[in-house]
Amino acid sequence: MVDLIKDDTSLSSANKITAYEALLNKEKIKEDLNDIATLVFNEALLVEMLKVGSYVEITTLFKTFIPLENVNKTNENINIYVRLLRSAINAYLMLQKYDNAKKLIAELQPYFSLYDVTDVNKAHVFMGAGQLNVRTGKYKDGVSMLLLAMQTFGKSSSLSEENKRKKISTTLSYVGHTYFTLGDYKNAIKYYEKSIDKAGDLLEPLDITIYNHNIALSQLELFEWEQALNTATLASQQAKDVGSDVFVAFANEIISRAKHGLGKSTEAIKIIDGSIGTYKKINDTQRIIEALAYEAEFHISLGNWDEAKKNTIEAYSILAIAKSQAKPTIELFKSSFLIEEKNNNFDKALLYQKQLTKLKEEDFEAKKNARRTTLNVKFRA
3-state secondary structure 152-215: HHHCCCCCCHHHHHHHHHHHHHHHHHHHHHHCCHHHHHHHHHHHHHHHHHHCCHHHHHHHHHHH
Task: Using the 3D structure, point to which of 117, 136, 152 is the last residue of a domain.
Answer: 117
- Is position 347 within any domain? yes
Q: What is the CATH number of the domain that holds 287?
A: 1.25.40
C-alpha 212: how far from its chain's center? 14
Taking alpha carbons only, the member of 272, 274, 316 closest to residue 294 is: 272
**Measured between alpha carbons, how far is 237 from 39 in angstroms, rounded to an integer?**
45
**Measured between alpha carbons, how far is 276 from 282 in angstroms, rounded to an integer?**
10
**Measured between alpha carbons, how far is 169 from 195 in angstroms, rounded to an integer?**
4
Task: Using the 3D structure, point to which of 117, 139, 154 is the last residue of a domain.
Answer: 117
Q: How many helices (H) and strands (E) does the chain have?
A: 19, 0
- Is position 179 within any domain? no
What is the per-residue pLDDT for 377? 35
**Measured between alpha carbons, how far is 68 from 346 in angstroms, rounded to an integer?**
67
What is the per-residue pLDDT for 372? 38
Burial of 140 by CB count in 10 Å (0-12 exposed, 13-18 middle, 19+ buried)? Answer: middle
- Is position 107 within any domain? yes
Q: Are 370 and 183 in contact (CB under 8 A)?
A: yes
What is the per-residue pLDDT for 106? 93
Task: Using the 3D structure, point to which of 67, 94, 117 is the last residue of a domain.
Answer: 117
What digits encode the pLDDT tens for the residues 113-159? 999 999 999 999 999 999 999 989 898 899 999 999 999 999 999 99
**Measured between alpha carbons, how far is 168 from 154 in angstroms, rounded to an integer?**
7
- pTM for the structure as a whole: 0.78
Task: Place 80 in a pLDDT band, splitting at 50, 70 and 90.
Answer: confident
What digits encode the pLDDT tens for the residues 330-366? 999 999 999 999 999 999 999 999 999 998 888 766 5
**Measured between alpha carbons, how far is 75 from 53 in angstroms, rounded to an integer?**
30
Q: Which range marks the domain in which residue 100 is found?
A: 1-117
Count of structural domains, the chain: 2
- Is position 84 within any domain? yes
- Is position 138 within any domain? no
- Is position 52 within any domain? yes
- Is position 325 within any domain? yes
CA angle 29, 33, 37 (to 5 degrees): 100
What is the per-residue pLDDT for 361? 82
What is the per-residue pLDDT for 380? 33
- Is position 237 within any domain? no
For 281: left if phi > 0, alpha if psi spans -120 to 50, otherwise beta; the answer is alpha
Task: Place 15 in a pLDDT band, splitting at 50, 70 and 90.
Answer: low
**Measured between alpha carbons, how far is 215 from 381 in angstroms, rounded to an integer?**
18
**Measured between alpha carbons, how far is 275 from 237 in angstroms, rounded to an integer?**
14
Average pLDDT, the chain: 84
